Structure 1
Amino acid sequence: MKLHYKPGACSMASHIILNELGVSFDLDKTDTDGRTTEAGDDFRKISPNGYVPALITDNGDIITENPAVLQYLADLSPEAGLAPANGTLERTRLQEALNFVSSELHKSFSPFFSGVEMDDAAREKAVAGIGRRAAHIESILADGRSFLLGETFSVADAYAFVVLNWAGFISVSLDAHPKTQAYVARIAARPASIKAMIAEGLMEQAA
C-alpha cells in the first residue's frame, strides 16, 4: 500500500492507523498546492479532488476521503479492533463519530488554513466555532470514557486527535475542555502516533 500524505494534515490519521496495524506501506509526501508527489507524479491523476489522504491499495485501487480510508484500513484486520463489525449499531456509532469529525470539527479549522488573513472579528468567530465542536467532544467524554466509542481506541479517535491537535499550531486554547485535552494527550502518547509524528517531521525522535 501507499499513502499520499501531507505532513500534519488529516492524512496523518491514516498514517497512525497503518502504524497501529503494523502492516507494510510506503509514504509519498504530496504537495497539494503544486499537485505533485514526492515521487514526481501528477497528484491530480491520483486524486482529482487534489487533497490528501489518498491510499493506493495493494491491488492498485485508489481510496480517498478520510472516513472511507480509515474504515477500509480497519476492516483489513478486524482482529485489531479499530472499528466495530459492519452491520452493528456500534459501527453506526463509529460512522457517526467519523462524520462529525469530518464535517464539523475538521471544517471548523478551515478558516485558519485558507490562506486568507483574518481580522480580529473573523478570528474570534472561527475560534468560537472550534470551541463549539470541542465542547461536543467534551460532552462525549464526560462519562469518563477514554475514547469516543468507549474504552477501545478506534479509527475515529485517530482522526479526532489529528484535528484537535491542530489547535496548538494555531494558538487556540482547549483549556475550557480538560477532558478533551487529556484525550488528545492520551492519543499523542500512543507509539503509533509518536511514530507518525516523527516520520512527518512534527516531533523529534527521543535520544
Structure 2
Amino acid sequence: MKLYYSPGACSLASHIVAREAGIAIELVKVDFSSKRTQVGIDFLTINPKGNVPVLELDDGSFLTEGPAIIQFLADSKPERDLVPRNGAMSRYRLQEWLGFINSDLHTNYAPLFNPATPELIRSAKQEVLFKYYAFIERSLTSQQWLLGEQFSAADAYLFTVTNWARHVGLDLSRLPAITAFQQRVAGRPQVREALLAEGLLRD
C-alpha cells in the first residue's frame, strides 16, 4: 500500500496508525503548493479533492479522508487493539472522538495557517480552539488516552492536530493534561519512527 502524505499534515495520523499496526506502507510525499507528488505526478489525478491523506490499496483503488483511512488500517490488524471492534459502544466512542477532532479542532486550525486571515478572525478561532481543548483537558485529566487506558487511533489524530498549535502561536502550556498527553504520544517508538520518516525529528 502507498500513503500519500505531506509532512506534519493530518496524514501523519494515518502514518502513525500504520506503524502502530505494523503495516508496511510506501510513503509518497505530496507538495501542497504545486499539487504534485515527489515523482512529479499531478496529485489531482489521484485525489481530485486535492487533500492528503490518500491510501492506495494493493488493488490500485484509493481511499481518502483521514478518519476512514485510520479505521481501515487499524481494522486490518485487529490484534493491535488500535480500534474497538465494530458494533461495540466503544467503537462509536472512537468515531465520536474522530468526528469531533475532524470537524471542530481540524477545521478551526485551517484559517490560522493562512497569513491573510484577519486578526479578528484569528483571535476568534483561537478562542474556539481553547474552548474545545478545555473539554479535552477534562477528559485527559482522569485518563491517559481518549478511550481510557488503551492508546487508540483517535489518540494518533489528536496528537497530530494538536502538534499544529506551536506553528500557529496557540499556547497550550496552561493545559497540563494535554501537554502530558502530547509527550506520552511523542514518546511511543512507532510515533517517533513516523516523525523521523517525515523529517519532523532529527535522530
The answer to whether the aligner puts 1:165 opposite 2:136 as a matched pair is no
> CA deviation digits over 1:73-99, x for unaligned, max 9?
000000000000001111000000000
CA distance in 1, matches of 2:135, 2:105: 9
Counterpart of 1:99?
A: 99
Q: CA deviation at 1:30?
A: 0.3
Question: Normalising by the residue count of structure 2, what TM-score does the alignment of the two structures yield?
Answer: 0.96
2:153 corresponds in structure 1 to: 155
Deviation per residue, 1:27-82 (Å, 9 max, x gap): 01001231211122111111111010000011222111111000000000000000
- After superposition, give the CA deviation of every residue in 1:110-164 in whole Å (9 maximum; x if it has no partner): 1112342432x33322221211111121121132x11000011111000000001
Map 1:1-207 to 2 at 5 A: 1-119=1-119, 121-143=120-142, 145-205=143-203
Gaps of 5+ in 2: none
Equivalent-residue separation in structure 1 for 2:95 and 2:117 (angstroms): 34
SS at match of 1:8: coil
C-alpha deviations, 1:168-207, integer Å up to 9, x for none? Answer: 12221112211011111110111111111111111101xx
Q: How many positions carry a matched residue from both structures?
A: 203
**Contact between 1:10 and 1:159, CA under 8 Å: does it hold in 2?**
yes
The separation in 1 between residues aligned to 2:198 and 2:58, in whole angstroms, is 23
Larger CA deviation: 193-202 vs 66-75: 193-202
Write the distance in 2 (CA, Å) between the matches of 1:123 and 1:190.
33
Distance 2:153 2:8 in 1: 17
Are the counterparts in 1 of residues 12 and 160 from structure 2 also a CA contact under 8 Å?
A: yes
Partner-residue secondary structure (3-state), 2:8? coil
8 Å contact 1:32–1:52 — kept in the other structure?
no
Counterparts of 2:139 and 2:108 in 1: how far apart (Å)?
Answer: 18
The answer to which of 91-100 and 41-50 deviates more is 41-50
Q: Compute the displacement of 1:22 (Å).
A: 1.9
Give distance in 1, aligned partners of 2:83 and 2:122.
36
SS at match of 1:109: helix
Does the 8 Å CA contact 2:113/2:168 hold for their aligned counterparts?
no
Q: Which structure 1 residue ranges, 5 or more long, are not aligned?
A: none
Mean Cα deviation higher: 50-59 or 18-27: 18-27
Equivalent position amino acid for 2:12 in 1? M
TM-score of the aligned structures, taking structure 1 as reference length: 0.94
d(CA) in 1 for partners of 2:70 and 2:176? 27
